[in-house]
């Protein structure tokens, strides 16, 4: 297949390398000329240490050229999806297949990224989301992993499964696009909270409790938005939640750890070279929780920690001192 990956970050580049190994013709699009020149010349990506960029990976700064291919993988941070898709649409992208690997919600509207793409393209697309516990560093190295291709069109999901599946990346299919998108975006909030646990010096007990109750919140908002609850027991739910909350590679967990150690969230973000998706997700889901009157206590405390400068230790004290209730509540 002729496939373009829109986004030259670590995840987009890792997927481009993976697709090349599967025998596809791959074009990787980047917005910044300096990044393109550096990666083309050095064959090294700044966020993928130890990974050599293949010679046959075509890298371009021409979006129109990239959009000529049949399959378009969107691998940009969620806050930029609308802007990028608008540019793709104006570039004459027409009827194509979009494979979205970004994880998040649009803060201003509360829309899922599939809804953003649909709104911009007026529905002139085939859409599949690819999500699961897959750190770019490990996928680029060809270490074993599993992921979910989700689409309301199950035949399309099966097609994407065929394109991406190999002995190092096992791809499953799912028809619940809504649930897969919720899981992929919501887990970043819990990962920030998990990092705060680490930064505060709490133990394994606290982290296990935090992840478990975070999964409960994921299911609560999923139920409210009418997703399939079983989806959250899969790779895009608990699977992605586990890896993002525990891994050294997780920028969301790392961001939370710095907060737990006393650093100011705004200052951390100013010096961070990579987008911390959980900061956007925390605000988007906090606003949704108020809109639909659903109780998301971990989400609320992460929001207050980031946006209201609440002391992280006070956040956890307030979580522990909430009104006693049944576990199912």
Could you report the per-residue pLDDT of 197-208, keeping only the tens digit for each? 999 999 999 999
The predicted pLDDT at position 125 comes to 85
Tell which residue, 256, 291, 312, 311, has the closest CA to residue 105: 291
Identify the helix (H) or strand (E) that includes residue 3. Answer: strand 2-6
The predicted pLDDT at position 93 comes to 67
Which residue is it, tokens 């999964």? 215
Residues 6 or more apart from 264 whose CB is under 8 A from it? Answer: 309
The predicted pLDDT at position 174 comes to 98
CA atoms of 269 and 305, how far apart (whole Å)? 14
Q: The dihedral of CA 327, 316, 277, 240: what is its sign? A: negative
Average pLDDT over residues 12-25: 97
Pick 92 or 286 by higher pLDDT: 286
- Per residue in 302-327, pLDDT tens? 999 999 999 999 999 999 999 999 99
The predicted pLDDT at position 227 comes to 98
The predicted pLDDT at position 94 comes to 66
Tell which residue, 96, 38, 41, 20, has the closest CA to residue 63: 96
Tell which residue, 162, 108, 107, has the closest CA to residue 130: 162
Active site residues: 187
User: To the nearest whole number, what is the mean pLDDT of the chain?
Assistant: 95
Tell which residue, 39, 61, 45, 57, has the closest CA to residue 11: 45
- Per residue in 26-39, pLDDT tens? 999 998 888 899 99
Pick 192 or 34 by higher pLDDT: 192
Confidence of residue 95 (pLDDT cuts 50, 70, 90): confident
Q: Which domains does the chain have, with CATH numbers?
A: 2-175 (3.40.50.720), 178-320 (1.10.1040.10)
- Torsions phi, psi for 103 (to 5 deg): -125, 110
CA atoms of 57 and 61, how far apart (whole Å)? 13
Given a cut of 80, whether residue 293 has pLDDT beyond it is: yes
Confidence of residue 124 (pLDDT cuts 50, 70, 90): confident
């Amino acid at each position: 297949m002729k496939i373009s990956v829109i986004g030259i970050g670590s995840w987009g580049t890792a997927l481009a390398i993976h697709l090349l190994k599967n025998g596809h013709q791959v074009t990787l699009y980047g917005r910044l000329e300096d990044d393109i020149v550096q990666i083309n010349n050095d064959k090294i990506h700044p966020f993928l240490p130890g990974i050599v960029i293949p010679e046959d990976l075509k890298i371009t700064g021409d979006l129109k050229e990239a959009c000529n291919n049949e399959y378009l993988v969107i691998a940009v941070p969620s806050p930029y999806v609308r802007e990028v898709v608008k540019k793709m649409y104006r570039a004459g992208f027409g009827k194509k297949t979009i494979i979205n690997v970004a994880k998040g919600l649009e803060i201003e509207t509360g829309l899922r990224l599939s809804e953003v793409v649909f709104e911009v393209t007026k529905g002139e697309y085939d859409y599949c989301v690819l999500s699961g516990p897959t750190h770019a560093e490990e996928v680029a190295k060809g270490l074993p992993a599993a992921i979910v291709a989700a689409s309301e069109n199950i035949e399309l999901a099966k097609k994407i499964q065929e394109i991406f599946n190999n002995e190092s990346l096992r791809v499953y299919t799912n028809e619940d696009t809504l649930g897969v998108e919720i899981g992929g975006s919501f887990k970043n909030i819990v990962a920030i909270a998990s990092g705060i646990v680490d930064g505060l010096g709490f133990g394994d007990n606290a982290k296990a409790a935090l992840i478990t109750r975070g999964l409960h919140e994921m299911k609560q908002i999923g139920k409210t938005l009418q997703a399939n609850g079983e989806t959250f027991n899969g790779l895009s739910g608990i699977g992605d939640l586990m890896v993002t909350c525990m891994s050294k590679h997780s920028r969301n967990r790392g961001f939370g750890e710095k907060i737990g150690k006393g650093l100011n969230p705004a200052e951390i973000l100013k010096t961070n070279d990579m987008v911390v998706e959980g900061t956007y997700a925390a605000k988007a889901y906090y606003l949704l929780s108020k809109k639909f009157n659903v109780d998301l206590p971990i989400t609320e405390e992460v929001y207050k920690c980031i946006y209201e400068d609440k002391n992280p230790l006070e956040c956890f004290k307030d979580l522990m001192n909430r009104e006693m209730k049944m576990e199912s509540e």
